[in-house]
A = this chain, B = another copy of it.
Amino acid sequence: MKKVVTFGEIMLRLSPEGYNRFLQNDRLNATYGGGEANVAVSLANFGLDSKYVTKLPTHAIGQGAVDSLRYFGVDTSAITRGGDRVGIYFLEKGASVRGSNCIYDRAYSAIALADESDFDWQAIFADADWFHFTGITPALGGNLPSICLKAVKTAKKMGLTVSCDLNYRSKLWSRESAKSVMTDLIKYVDVCIANEEDAKDVFGIEALDTNIYGGKLNKDGYKSVAKQIADIYGVKKVAITLRESISASDNGWSAMLFDGNDYYFSKHYDLHIVDRVGGGDSFGAGLIYAIKSGFDAQSVIEFAVAASALKQTVEGDFNRVTVKEVLRLAGGDASGRVQR
C-alpha cells in the first residue's frame, strides 16, 4: 500500500483540565497536535500507511512528539531531528456562551526555522501516492513557502495526488501574504478543503448571504465558492465544511463536496462537543481515506463528515476512531447506545 505523506508542524498542546480557564489550577494536560499531524494519525487509525514529515528537536519534548505519532503507527522515519524548540499552543476549552481560547507560542520552533535542505522530497515520496498539507505550513514563514512549493512540485512530478486544507490563520500571516503564497501552491493541488471563511481570507472568494455567526446555511453560496476555487485554480475536488456555532457546547456540522461536476451535501449532525480542535483535520483525513478507498462522491462526503463529527466527541487533537465506527455513524446510528 502506498503511503499518504503529510507535512507540517506538530505542537505540544497544553490544556487545562475540563472546563477550567487557563492556569485556574496547577495542572495541564499535555498532548501533541497540529493540522497535518492530526490528519496523519486519523489515516493511520483508518488503516492507511501514513508518513508524517516535520522537523523536531532531539530533546525529550521533541522526542515526545515522535513517540505520540508512533503510538498510532504513523511512520516517523522522515522526520528531521534538530533545532531547539517545539511549538506550543495553550488551549482553553469553552463551554456554553464562553468560547474556547488559544494562545500560540510557536514562533522560533524547529520547523519554523527549517531549511530546504532538511527535506529530501524525492526520497520522502518514494513510497507514497498522496501528499497532504495545510495553509498553516507555508504560513509559518521563513523557508516554509519555498519548502512547500518544492514539495508540491516534486509530488506532482512523481504522480502523487496533492490535497490542501486552506486553514487560514490571521495570527500567522496577512491575507495578502496568504494569497500570494497560496496562489502559487494551489496550482499543484488536486483536492482543496476549506470552510467559507478560508476561501475569502486566502483568495478573496466570497459567497453571498452567509453569516458564520448565525446558523442558516446558504447552500447556493457554498456551491458558488467551491466552483470558483475549482474554476480559477484548476482544483479537481473542493470540499467545504459547514459549521454552525450555536454555542461552544453545541454545533451543527455538515459538509459539501464538489467533484467538478456535482455538489454533494452530507447529512447534518447536531453535536454536543467534547473537543472541537482537529475537527477540520479529521474531515480532511476522512476525505482522503474515502477517496483513496474508491467511495462514490456521496459516500465520500458522508464518511468525511461522520469522521469529523466523531472527532468532536474525542478529547485531544487526534481522532481516535476506526473506520467501523465512522461507517456505523455514517450509516445512520447516532443513537449513542452502548456497544456491548
Q: What CA separation (Å) do A108 and B333 show in the bound complex? A: 33
Q: Does A327 contact B (CB under 8 A)?
A: no
| Contact in complex: B24, A338 (CB < 8 Å) | no
In the bound complex, do residue B19 and residue A315 qualify as a contact, i.e. CB atoms below 8 Å apart?
A: yes
Per the bound structure, the CA–CA distance linking A29 and B98 in Å amounts to: 22
Q: Does A117 contact B (CB under 8 A)?
A: no
Closest chain B CB from A325 CB (angstroms): 7
Q: How far is the CA of A25 from the CA of B71 in the complex (A)?
A: 12
Majority DSSP secondary structure for residues of A touching B: loop
A246-B336 Cα distance, complex, nearest whole Å: 7
Report B-chain residues with C-beta under 8 Å of the C-beta of A245: 335-337
Query: Which of A26, A63, A94 lies at the interface centre, i.e. has the most chain B CB atoms within 10 A of its CB?
Result: A26
Which residue of chain B has the shortest Cβ distance to A250 in the bound complex?
B272
Chain B residues lying within 8 Å of A169, measured Cβ to Cβ, are 340
Most chain-B CB neighbours within 10 Å: which of A71, A316, A332? Answer: A71
Q: Count A interface residues, CB 8 Å.
A: 84
Residues in B whose Cβ lies below 8 Å from that of A312: 96
Is the Cβ of B60 less than 8 Å from the Cβ of A101?
yes
CB contacts under 8 Å to B, within A169-207, are 169-171
Q: Which one, B30, B108, B170, B247, contacts A28 given CB within 8 A?
A: B30
Q: Is A310 among interface residues, defined by CB-CB distance under 8 A?
A: yes
